[in-house]
Amino acid sequence: MNRKNSLKLGVLLVALFGVLILNTNIYAQEIVSKNIINQDVELKIDSIISLLTLEEKVAMCHAQSKFSTAGVGRLGIPEVWMSDGPHGVRGEINWDNWGYAKWTNDSITAFPALTCLAATFNPKLSKKYGVSIGEEALYREKDVLLGPGVNIYRTPLNGRNFEYMGEDPFLASKMVIPYIHGVQENGVAACLKHYVLNNQEQWRDHINVKVSDRALYEIYLPAFKAAVVEGGVWSVMGAYNQFRGQHTTHHKLLNKILKTDWGFDGVVISDWGSTHDTKEAALYGLDMEMGTGTDGLTSTSLNAYDNYYLADPFLQMIKKGEIEESIVDEKVRRILRLMFRTNMNKNRGFGKINNDEHLEVAREIAAEGIVLLKNENSFFPIDPSKKMTIAVIGENATRKMTLGGGSSELKAKNEISPLKGLQDRYKNATIVHALGYASGPPVYGRVIPSELDAEALKNEAIEVAKNADVVLFFGGLNKNYQQDCEGGDRIDYGLPFGQEELLDELIEVNKNIGVVLVSGNAVAMPWLSKVNAVMQGWYLGSEAGNALADVISGDVNPSGKLPFSFPVHLTDNSAHHFGEISYPGNGEYQEYKEDILVGYRWHDTQKIKPLFAFGYGLSYTNFNIDNVSTDKKTYTSSDIIKVTCDVSNIGVITGSEVVQVYVGKSKSKVKRAAKELKGFEKIVVKNNSTETVEISIAVEDLAYYNETISDWSLEKGTYEIYVGNASNNISKKLKIRIK
């Protein structure tokens, strides 16, 4: 470039960024509320694109390291830096391989897993979660946080269910929106994943999913749609699997549904190694390619980034005229838009990390998400003022659950174990701990069994349990491969590592036993009738032990509700009912034969009793739901149905209840689930008090996806409204008409 031209460029850039600085305030406000395309910014993007060389544009569309893409140094355009997600900001990874970079300033607050967040049924907490994790991402100088995930819980074997928000599209939709708003308020992009149908880890790189349009639109897409349309998410991650013979990272689903129908104006980022073809990547909606190995999914050779599908091969195709330059311009436009919202938003702050507020948020969400499943003889709460001996048995009482699990693994600054939490809260008690069983270390892609002597561990635990007043068993799964971990599914529905046998023997020596399950998935419970109590404890992050002690001691009254069903037997789950072709498939493809009947929709419709139902969870108090009514009996398609009820707390302590409204259409011309969640509200009710709850449902949300017209259809006629506090505990059924 000659001197005159470079002077011109300088003047243009000064003008450009000058306007930008003046406008940032207004712009910052706009970007957090709605994704209004800001015309000023679009003009700036036009100008920048006109200054970029073809090589620079292509370089922005693919990785330059494991977690970053190149900037354009000569124009002062920054690099884009990303991090996993979704429960905390991951430790720094090496430039060019999966090893940790061993920084000493990258430890963070670990927030509870998203299953726990979903179990709170409390969108306000989701907002707090998003704000806090966004602040941590910002402090760590990240522009994109790789989360949240909203793949639907289809089978309890899926190794990544803990990273998602359960089996119900309505619940996941309501919970994902505030998370995104919270993160993005910080000028950090959330990256919604994994779009779409990545509902198992087995064969995830290639499994070809066959599913009806109806199930796709009614079950698997709604949470993604809500995140885009109402959440205004700035980036979306493609998935590994195929759908109808095409990899989802470069698929018609992106241009048609995501970008056109839903108006997504952000960046589609590949999953790490999910890109397979230059032309498809160019033409079918992928904007940024990440993590492609030159010789496989997780292995790279140094500086291979130029060989990426969206690198030199893309450049060559554009140069040869096989792909139009406007295609790369469109990708760069989206990338720059994301940058104006994040690292080129001069108004963004600096973030915060590991502060008390974040720990409080983590603890509040953890405690509110814990679900009390069984509580015979008021086993819980256990009075902390009493002098007694508590036997704390089980590896999960001390195991670090932020380690392992795959890409969501965290380097938590602190992780309070359940044992520590109890020791701190139960100062008057004697707490004795025994491992009882042991698994090996959390290694990705491999099972390394424990070297400890299983028999000796069991005997020690039995001795400890014998002499205790109370036994608390901390078991469940962990973040090892083939447990709750990316890259593989569970192979068994039961408890692993000999826990079932151990539990049987513990029950023999001490009947006063309660179980705390630490897991992100349902497990079989053949021992259920023999224990007094069961609590679902999830993966709770930095404050795990404190939050568990809060609920166990009664400092917090439990109010979590299950975001997915626990089947008695694996084959009671709809994905498994139809045999291997449905799950896990034949290695090449699988058919979602249960169609729209996922989770409780299946249990209810087929009248297969679950062990614990979707939406279920006990409290230390009792509630009555009555005076249920709707504001009208007959509605038109544009109406809002207002469902009202009274929630009375008839116990002796304050508690929170989740009122759930399900809708069914028993006489329908199409297949229907017996009922589907259409509204919920969590409410705090003082003892001996009554609160009135009103829940609004838009009539148009009762439509079904009509495959014959490829659009939604609203059936007229009678619908049933079910109001209760669990999908299987309905206090009142009402009928309404749609005319």
Binding site residues, ligand BGC, CB under 6 A: 84-85, 146, 193, 271-272, 407
C-beta of 160: minimal distance to ligand BGC in Å? 8
Q: Is the bond preceding residue 196 a cis peptide, omega within 30 degrees?
A: yes
406 vs 476, which CB is nearer to ligand BGC?
A: 406
The answer to whether residue 40 is catalytic is no
Helices 39-51 and 3-33: angle between axes, nearest 10 degrees? 150
Minimum distance, C-beta of residue 598 to ligand BGC, in the bound complex (Å): 22
Report how far apart, in Å, the C-alpha atoms of 168 and of each of 81, 256, 284, 368, 602 are. 32, 24, 29, 19, 12
Which strand ranges, in their side-by-side order, compose the sheet holding 68-69? 68-69, 80-84, 144-146, 189-195, 235-238, 267-269
Amino acid at 423: Q
Determine the residue type at 350.
F
Residue 148 CB, shortest distance to ligand BGC, in Å, is 11
> From the CB of 527, what's the least distance to ligand BGC, in Å?
34
Strand pairing class (189-195; 144-146): parallel
Least CB distance from residue 84 to ligand BGC, whole Å? 5
Shortest distance, position 647 Cβ to ligand BGC, whole Å: 39
Chain centroid offset of residue 88 CA: 12
Task: Name the minimum Å distance from CB 291 to ligand BGC.
Answer: 6
Q: Taking the complex as a whole, how short is the minimal distance between the CB of residue 337 and ligand BGC, in angstroms?
A: 21
- Which lies closer to ligand BGC via its Cβ, residue 293 or residue 498? 293
Minimum distance from residue 326 beta carbon to ligand BGC (Å): 29
H helical segments located in 379-477: 418-425, 454-466
Query: Which of residues 110 and 726 has its CB atom nearest to ligand BGC in the complex?
Result: 110
579: its two tokens: 């045999």
| Nearest 10 degrees: Cα torsion 210, 211, 217, 222 | -80
Residue 396 or 407 having the CB closest to ligand BGC: 407
Report d(CA 676, CA 28) in Å as an integer: 38
Residue whose CB is less far from ligand BGC, 84 or 135:
84
Centre a 10 Å sphere on the Cβ of residue 597 and count the other Cβ atoms it contains.
Answer: 23
Between residues 281 and 736, which has the closer beta carbon with respect to ligand BGC?
Answer: 281
Catalytic residue among 168, 271, 550, 572: 271
> What is d(CA 118, CA 127) in angstroms, rounded to the nearest whole number?
12
Residue 362 CA to residue 401 CA, distance in Å, equals 14
**Tokens found for residue 90:** 């991951």
Cβ atoms 650, 623 nearer than 8 A: yes
Count of CB atoms situated within 10 Å of the CB of 96: 16
Nearest to 573 by CA among 523, 498, 516: 523
**Of 146 and 288, CB closest to ligand BGC:** 146
Closer to ligand BGC at the Cβ: 308 or 620?
308
Min dist CB 172 to ligand BGC, Å, is: 16
- Residues 589 and 604: beta-carbon distance below 8 Å: no
Copy the structure tokens of residue 626: 């009555």
Cα–Cα distance list, 58 to 137, 304, 315, 327, 375 (Å): 27, 15, 6, 10, 60
Q: Which is nearer to ligand BGC, 25 or 298 (CB)?
A: 298
> Smaller CB distance to ligand BGC: residue 159 or 222?
159
Q: Which is nearer to ligand BGC, 271 or 395 (CB)?
A: 271
Residues 6+ apart with CB under 8 A from 391: 432, 433, 434, 461, 464, 465, 467, 468, 470, 471, 472, 510
Strands (E), 686-728: 689-698, 704-706, 711-713, 717-726
**For ligand BGC, the closer CB: 193 or 374:** 193
Nearest residue to 290 via CA among 185, 160, 407, 133: 407
Contacts with 348 (C-beta within 8 Å, 6 or more apart), sequence order: 28, 138, 186, 187, 342
Select the residue whose beta carbon is closest to ligand BGC and give its number. Answer: 407
Give kind and range of the element (H or E) at residue 371: strand 371-375
The nearest distance, CB 490 to ligand BGC, in angstroms, is 17
Q: Which of 580, 695, 633 is nearest to 170 (CA)?
A: 695
Count the Cβ atoms, other than its own, within 10 Å of residue 431.
Answer: 18
Q: By C-alpha distance, which of 550, 518, 513, 549 is closest to 532? A: 513
To ligand BGC, the closest distance from the beta carbon of 404 in angstroms equals 14
- Closest approach, Cβ 68 to ligand BGC, in A, equals 12
Torsion region of 245: left, alpha or beta (phi above 0 gives left; psi -120 to 50 gives alpha): left
* Contact (Cβ atoms closer than 8 angstroms) between residue 507 and residue 339: no
Residues near 489 by beta carbon (within 8 Å), at least 6 away in sequence: 155, 157, 158, 159, 200, 201, 202, 482, 584
Residue with tokens 């013979």: 245
Nearer to ligand BGC, 166 or 496 (CB): 166
Q: Looking at the annotation, which residues are catalytic? A: 271
